[in-house]
A and B are shown apart, each in its own frame.
Chain A
């Protein structure tokens, strides 16, 4: 009766230790049926460990992993109703494309007829647009095609849940975007749960219904992509998901549910508080590049000089040097600023809509932006 209400995947107080090293701990997660969920985090955050516990390659040291309401403790990978698309695909080098895809079908008991195996393998290949590639050797295919074979191989057994371990990491940018769309379409058509592990926040935000942000072996935030982006639970999420400017400051007062804070250069701004902040506390304020408004000098809150301008078509990205505070990134809507580009070296003022700055407790240590800054905007 309750089976239909069960989440597809459930973690209950799961911890995984390797000797003295704790990979993940206190994981509680419930993934509803037919959802596209991304486990997002930097390398070493434990996201792959979680995926491998679902697949059955790792057993939790504590707690339970349930698939469709059934505790999976002691259930080997080959008896679990999940299939995985491996990082770098792990295709069988001695089998051709069709036999790679048919591998899972051949394992079924009672045995399927040869004709049915061929039929279903063919269907799976057609689903990933590789019809007619059945007799190719795996190493003759391009990376993108191998990726599709891996997908067809994992889907051919009609799993309850499809696990994807950094599936797009090895593809080039253009192909990656195509595959993102294709994976989304596939997930909707099949109506099964996809669990995607990625360190690429852009990929996580663009593809999934829910993002589960992980850091240092714990879940930091679970939410829809826009929640995670606009309402980050803590400083780590604010920094990791999307681009942002982080500025240290001190709380100087509270007003109207907002906190007043003083930045290092003496300017005062008001921000929405995320967490407990009292007067005198150290704080870090997060300013999304697209929330910054560029104005004529003297009018905004902060005064700076344009250092670089990156023209991106629909938007323009500016690097603006503000004395004492350092360089801030600002994204300007090109439509809005039509014909009104700031030139490098030009003085400019920065303002922001009230409520867009977010203040977090604590000071982010140096090296805030270890991540490479890509010339690509994820902001839609």
Chain B
């Protein structure tokens, strides 16, 4: 019997099976393992030893600095990304001609084809002793330190995550009905008022998507702080690598990981709330 409910159900199951299996094997099961690890104890020779204790969670304050740095870096990095990305997305969506739009979008996406590791390496050399500081030395600016500073980490973050911020904002601005901007001007709104009252407000879904995307990725960021921060600025990502691979304290690392996931979930929920609140019909006056 073609098209019978049973058959359709089977087909749906078959189509969803690969993705479902992938999620279960690589996300759900490992996460359950991590949760189990996090209530266990470190085996004497390192690794995991079964137990049921909250000691690991009680020990979290020992890594307070890493938490603190991460909780500062993620929103600040995401915000810096936003500041750079918004004008680009605005130009692309509202000002650029059709041809330039394509060229510029390609220029934004193409660097993604090279691995982030290689691109961050490049920044290491650009900012390192033989890069920009050497050039500046020629014009008399000596002893400028760029690499291994928080500024370098921020720069790397903005560089690495910019496309993730630009694209969702671009999409929401591109969908914006231009006549709304004309209507706003017609009603007496100066360009700045139109921007904050209409353009920015209606692009908020894109902004929150980009912001939460970048921020969540930054919560687990490991590569950029290590390479451009020289390990001086210690983040949760670095802490995890250190705990799992160096000191082999799997339970404590697991506790940190679980906490990190919880923080990410909270960020997502807040972003969702903000997005639906501002883009919905409810009015909150910004101007």
Whether, in the assembled complex, B283 has its beta carbon less than 8 Å from a beta carbon of chain A, the answer is yes
Are B201 and A94 touching (Cβ within 8 A)? yes
Partner of B188, one of A91, A92, A95, A108: A108
- Number of residues of chain A lying within 8 A (CB) of chain B: 31
Cβ-neighbour of B182 out of A77, A88, A103 (below 8 A): A77
A90 touches B179 (CB 8 A): yes
**Cα–Cα distance between A96 and B280 once the two chains are bound (Å):** 10
Q: Which of B183, B279, B281, B282 contacts A84 (CB 8 A)?
A: B183
Distance between Cα atoms of A89 and B183 in the complex (Å): 9
CB contacts under 8 Å to B, within A19-61, are 55-57
With A90-B177, A92-B180, A94-B201 in contact, is A76–B185 under 8 Å at CB?
Answer: yes
A82 — which chain B residues lie within 8 A by C-beta? 186
User: Does B259 lie at the interface of the complex (its beta carbon under 8 Å from any beta carbon of A)?
Assistant: no
Q: Chain A residues with Cβ under 8 A from B104's Cβ?
A: none
Return the contact of A78 from the options B185, B198, B282, B283 (Cβ within 8 A): B185
Contacts of A78 in B (CB 8 A): 185-190
Determine the distance from Cα of A154 to Cα of B182 in the docked complex, in whole angstroms.
12
Q: Which of A76, A94, A153 contacts B280 (CB 8 A)?
A: A94
Residues facing B in A61-102 (CB within 8 A) are: 76-79, 82-84, 86, 88, 90-96, 99
Which label, helix, strand, loop or mixed, suits the secondary structure of the A interface? Answer: mixed
Residues of B within 8 A of A154 (CB): 186-187
Complex: A76 Cα to B182 Cα, angstroms: 11
Within 8 Å of chain B (Cβ to Cβ): is A104? Answer: yes
Q: Are A104 and B188 in contact (CB under 8 A)?
A: yes
User: If the complex has contacts A57-B182, A93-B202, A107-B193, are A83 and B279 also in contact, measured as CB distance less than 8 A?
Assistant: no
| Dominant secondary structure of chain B at its interface with chain A | helix
- How far apart sit A108 and B188, CA to CA, in the bound complex (Å)? 7
Does B184 lie at the interface of the complex (its beta carbon under 8 Å from any beta carbon of A)?
yes
Q: Are B186 and A84 in contact (CB under 8 A)?
A: yes
Question: A92–B198 contact, CB under 8 A?
Answer: yes
B202 touches A94 (CB 8 A): yes
Alpha-carbon distance between A16 and B201 when the two chains are bound, in angstroms = 34
B159 within 8 A of A: no
Is A331 on the interface with B (CB-CB < 8 A)? Answer: no
Q: A78-B190, A107-B193 are in contact. Are A94 and B279 (CB under 8 A)?
A: yes
**Least CB distance, B64 to chain A, in whole angstroms:** 40
A197 smallest CB distance to B (angstroms): 14
Closest 4 CB pairs of A and B: A137-B281, A104-B187, A107-B188, A90-B179
List 16 A-B pairs, Cβ < 8 Å.
A76-B185, A77-B186, A78-B188, A78-B189, A83-B187, A88-B179, A90-B183, A93-B202, A95-B283, A96-B282, A96-B283, A104-B187, A107-B193, A108-B188, A153-B183, A154-B187
